[in-house]
Every structure is written in structure tokens, then in C-alpha cells.
Amino acid sequence: MNDPGPEPEARSDADAESVEVAEAPVVPASVPAPKIYLGDNLAVLATLPDASFDLIYIDPPFNTGRAQRRTPIEIVRDDAGDRTGFSGRRYRTIKLGAREYADAFDDYLEFLWPRLEQAHRLLGPRGSFFLHLDYREVHYAKVALDQIFGRACFMNEIVWAYDYGARSRSRWSTKHDNILWYVRDPNHYTFEYDAIDRIPYMAPGLVGPEKAARGKTPTDTWWSTIVSPTGKEKTGYPTQKPLKVIERIVRVHSRPGERLLDFFAGSGTFGEAATRLGREVVLVDHNPEAIEVMQRRLAFASPSLVTLQPEPEPEPLPEPLPPLPTPLPTP
């Protein structure tokens, strides 16, 4: 039997949140250019001053236990091609190379914990921190964040739900990510209610024309499609997140001119959202391929690049000399 789950709302909200990426947006002259760091994020974070960011978002590896790989492709018209398109026309697929990173950790929390502590140190007095994971590790991460930030600083678990891809035949198909929201001070934090984008009512006839025209604010479950594999937004980088989802976080949880940070920057979606919306942003990643994607994606804002060289390994100590032989006693 077909799944009768929340398909109507999934379609409605996904349609409402699908956007084409605008070309060459105008960046306010008063906003500094994005700064991109190439290097180990723990080493980079140690160089940044306390309480220097108003919003921090990270989308670390999910510890799936396998390599994350994407192969960007280009489709060209070819009568002898391997694909059939509209009106029976044939097209040929050209592979443009592959991007891959390892996503397996023996002790994921040991890897993540010191980075969460750095996020807490770097967050300003009215700041928010967002951790984007999935069902595999989010429960462990919440226990860690409760200890680092304090349970009173937990505000929401946001579920980003999407309906795309294969279905499992042995369990309920997992079609959501989890985003934990913590604040530095639960009594003073940025939440710009008027900046929340509206989504359509599922039954507009029940709420009247005025409300139906205005739409409703989302709940803590955000229905939104993934990045289209063939859309303009797609960079080809593994695990890229939709710009619209990240823009919502930036709009509501920061203000123009404020300073933002993503230290698992990947394809640079957070950096693009922040820059388009007039925020200063710092991005960190250790993967040179990610840096390439970010530089190309943010070229409209002329980002600067800082390369943090790893500390050289200390020279090994020389082997101790063998002891001198004991002199023979004088007869």
C-alpha cells in the first residue's frame, strides 16, 4: 500500500520554498567580503576571539560510516546519446569528475565535543548556535550540548523533512535531518519574527481569504525539497543543503551587518546565504575541493582566502649514544 503520510503538505511547502538562485546579487558596500579559511577547523577556531560571532551554523559529517561521493554531470544534445528527454530527443551524459570525503569516525563525539566547546566560546551574548545532523548522532550531540551550553539554552529541535529518493522495504524511510538550536542566553537572543517567510495553508478555504493570502509561519518541521540534481543551485559537492533552508536561519536569527561563522563550510551554502543577506561571514574547511567550490560560488563577493599551515612535526630526538665501555682496572 502506498504511504498516505504528509504528502500534501510536503508538496505544498516544497513548492513554496523552491527558488531559482539569482545571478550576481548586490552586496552592500558596508559588509566586509567573506573570509574563507583552509585548514583544520579546531586550529582555526583557536585563533578567533571570544564572543565574536552572532550566529554560528555547522553541518558536520553525519558519521554515516561510508564515503560521501558526488559525480557532477553535464547533459548535451546527441542523437546517439544514452538518455531520452523531452519529445524523444536523445542526450549524452558527460561526467565532470567526482568529489568525495570520508564520513566515518571511531568516536564521533570525541571528534565533535571540542568543536562544540569552541562554538560556545565564540558565540556572542545574544548569539544562536545551530547544529545540523541526522538520526545517527543527534541524540548524542544533544546530550553534549546540554552539558556545554546548559539545558536551559536549548530552544528547538528543527526537523527538515524532504520527500525524495528511494524507499526502504524493511523500515520507515528516513527522509529528514535534525537541526538543534541553542542560544548563549535564553532570556536575550535574536529571533526576528517579522523576517519569517510565510508558507501556504493546506486548507485555505477554512481560514478566510485574508489569512490565506498572508500564509502561515512554519512550525519546527520544515518541509522543503533537497537541492535539485539538475538545478542551477547544485554545485556537485556532497551533502549540499538547500539555500532556502539556510536563508531562513540567517534571516531570523541574525541581523544585517552581524558576523556569522560556519566551520564545516563544505559547499558554502551558509556563506552564500549570509552574504546575499548582508551579513559578514567566516567560513572554514580543511578540504581543498570545498574551498574551490566556495571561491567559485562566492566570486560575486570577492572572498579572501587564509591558509592555515599545520604545525610541523617535531624532529625526532637522536638515538642516545651507546655507553662508553668500562675501563679495565689498572694492575
Q: Please list the residues that pair with 180 across neighbouring strands.
A: 131, 157
The closest alpha carbon to 282, from 44, 2, 23, belongs to 44
State how far the Cα of 222 lies from the Cα of 93, in Å rounded to an integer.
34
Q: What are phi and psi of 263, to 5 degrees?
A: -105, 15
The conformational region for residue 105 under phi > 0 = left, psi -120 to 50 = alpha, else beta, is beta
CATH of domain 7-67+102-307: 3.40.50.150
State how far the Cα of 265 lies from the Cα of 285, in Å rounded to an integer.
6
Q: What are the start and end residues of each CATH 3.40.50.150 domain in the chain?
A: 7-67+102-307
Mean pLDDT in the chain?
82
> What's the confidence (pLDDT) of residue 214?
94
Instruction: Return the amino acid letter for 69.
Output: R
State how far the Cα of 128 lies from the Cα of 318, in Å rounded to an integer.
50
Q: Please list the residues that pair with 174 across neighbouring strands.
A: none
Least confident of 143-157, 161-175, 177-191, 229-243: 229-243
The closest alpha carbon to 288, from 119, 59, 38, 42, belongs to 38
> What's the confidence (pLDDT) of residue 31?
87
* DSSP 8-state code for residue 151: G
> What's the confidence (pLDDT) of residue 308?
86
Whole-prediction pTM value? 0.75
Q: Name the H helices within the chain.
A: 7-17, 41-45, 108-122, 138-149, 209-214, 243-253, 269-276, 288-297
Instruction: Return the amino acid letter for 257.
Output: G
User: pLDDT tens across 254-279, in order?
Assistant: 999 999 999 999 999 999 999 999 99
User: pLDDT tens across 42-54, in order?
Assistant: 999 999 999 999 9
The closest alpha carbon to 258, from 148, 125, 118, belongs to 125
State mean pLDDT over 210-216: 94
Q: What percentage of the chain has pLDDT greater than the value 90?
A: 60
- The DSSP annotation for 224-273 comes to -----TTSTT--S-TTPPPHHHHHHHHHHH--TT-EEEESS-TT-HHHHH
